[in-house]
Amino acid sequence: MAAEASPAAHWSGSGQLRGGRWGIWLFITVLRFLGLRFAYALAGPCALYFSFASPDVAATMDYHRRIFGKVPWWKRRWLVAKHFFSFGQALVDRTAILAGQTCRFSFAFDGEHHVREMVAEGNGVLLLTAHLGNWEAAGQLLSRLDVPVNVTGFDNETSQMRDLLTRSSDVKFRLIPLTGSPTDTLPLVAALRRGEIVAMLGDRAYGSPARPVSFLGDTAAFPVGGYVMAAIAGAPLVHVFSMREPGGHYHFFGFPPEHPHMPPRPQRDAYLTGCATRFVANMESVLRRDPLQWYNFYPFWKNPEPPVRPKPTILP
């Protein structure tokens, strides 16, 4: 993939947090000893700095143009800073929530019954979400389901950074890192077959099979590997999102479940495109509630390479 369009060439697709070890340590320390308000205040200057220094500004402005249309130059700059500050708030909240400080937040759940009903069937559930809002906040719901939870993520942090983040958290789920290898699917399918929950992101391909669909008026590639895995495991799939609202309140949205299957090869491409289209429609309906909570800061609509086609995988 061309460097200018590769997620890995931009910090939101690198699998690493910006700021370095000491910068992240500072945020964690401020949060622990001075509280959320001071941590938010610290995020402000950082957001302002990155709104000028980050290589992701152009891609962020392109996204804003698709959402807000043409705006004056000063408002474009203000939206970038506001967007980066929103992301800073999400990182602070994520650290607090993972550290078990959920008492500082309130939660509301719409569509929780969809997840509970699928868990009760005992076939495992694949939760498909996005870099939208704060997925860690949904852990407040997952912790109540009394079933093992597996969370996937593209983890490219250094061992020192990973240890720092682990020591500051009180994680109740198993993290399954993604490497881009075809074997990434094996532990995920195995977990679903054991009747467990697997949560994964559906708005970033990382080299996995993808389909081009319409998103915010233009074509972008969305991964379909989650549907393939759910079909192989015989597990239902539920679209879920968690958005931040004023006052430290988080709103969970769960959509009616799907039961993916693999049709004959001639119909498979159209079927998977339809799956991706439904996911995008649900994601976009939630995204428009607060567009500055979508945290994919790279040229999302530039796809110089054709979509990757699924390859057969030998499963246990």
Write the DSSP assignment of 214-257 as a string of letters: EETTEEEEEE-HHHHHHHHHT--EEEEEEEEETTTEEEEEEPPP
Task: Judge whether 129 lies within some domain.
Answer: yes
- pLDDT number for residue 11: 45
> What is the rounded CA–CA span in Å between residue 261 and residue 228?
8
Task: Judge whether 135 lies within some domain.
Answer: yes
Helices (H), 99-224: 112-121, 139-142, 159-167, 185-193
| Residue 213 CA from chain centroid, whole number | 18
**Domain that residue 193 falls in:** 3-293
> pTM for the full model?
0.85
What integer is the mean pLDDT of 218-233?
95
Structure tokens at 280: 């995008």
Burial of 14 (0-12, 13-18, 19+ CB in 10 A): middle
Among residues of the chain, what percentage have pLDDT more than 90? 57
Report for 33-37, 86-90, 99-103, 142-146: range of highest mean pLDDT: 86-90
What integer is the mean pLDDT of 262-268?
95
Task: Judge whether 221 lies within some domain.
Answer: yes
The residues, any chain, with a CB within 8 Å of residue 135's CB and separated by 6 or more, are 129, 199, 201, 242
Indicate the number of domains in the chain.
Answer: 1
Task: Judge whether 29 lies within some domain.
Answer: yes
Query: Do 222 and 205 touch, CB atoms closer than 8 A?
Result: yes
Task: Judge whether 312 lies within some domain.
Answer: no
Task: Judge whether 307 lies within some domain.
Answer: no
Task: Judge whether 171 lies within some domain.
Answer: yes
Task: Judge whether 301 lies within some domain.
Answer: no
Is the pLDDT at 136 greater than 60, yes or no? yes
Query: Do 90 and 295 touch, CB atoms closer than 8 A?
Result: yes
- pLDDT number for residue 172: 64
- pLDDT number for residue 312: 38
DSSP reduced 3-state for 200 = strand
Q: Report the CATH number at residue 180.
A: 3.40.1130
Residue type (1 letter), 92 = V
User: Higher-confidence residue: 273 or 158?
Assistant: 273
What integer is the mean pLDDT of 301-305?
60
Query: Do 307 and 221 touch, CB atoms closer than 8 A?
Result: yes
